[in-house]
Chains A and B, each alone.
Chain A
């Protein structure tokens, strides 16, 4: 829900969000939630490969 009371959803996972976490601008045409953003940008990549030899 934005400050204006409009519900917005992440363009990727459709989770309800207050604002686009990338640009933080109201009226963003492709709002994205924090989780989807860090994943898309590789900022918080879970261990990419299993451990071991």
Chain B
């Protein structure tokens, strides 16, 4: 069940092995991204997540801002 978290929680989760996913377009991902984040298109997230992500670990999905 997705839930909003703040950046301190992101850091705690990542330290604990969570996977980071950026859903912005690839060119934005190339410019700036959180360390260790992988890039997945929002449109294909559901499809790609099945193969690219480990469902046994928390997954943090982020965008540009909270809007």
Q: Name A's B-contacting residues (CB within 8 A).
A: 47-49, 51-53
From B28, B42, B63, B67, A53 is in contact (CB under 8 Å) with B42
Residues of B within 8 A of A (CB): 23-25, 27-28, 41-44, 63-65, 67
- A51 nearest CB across to chain B (Å): 6
Residues of B with C-beta under 8 A to A51: 23-25, 42, 63
Main secondary structure of the interface of B (DSSP, over half): loop
Q: Is the CB of A49 within 8 A of B27?
A: yes
B41 to A, closest residue via Cβ: A53
Most central of B25, B27, B28 by chain A CB within 10 Å: B25
Residues of A within 8 A of B23 (CB): 51
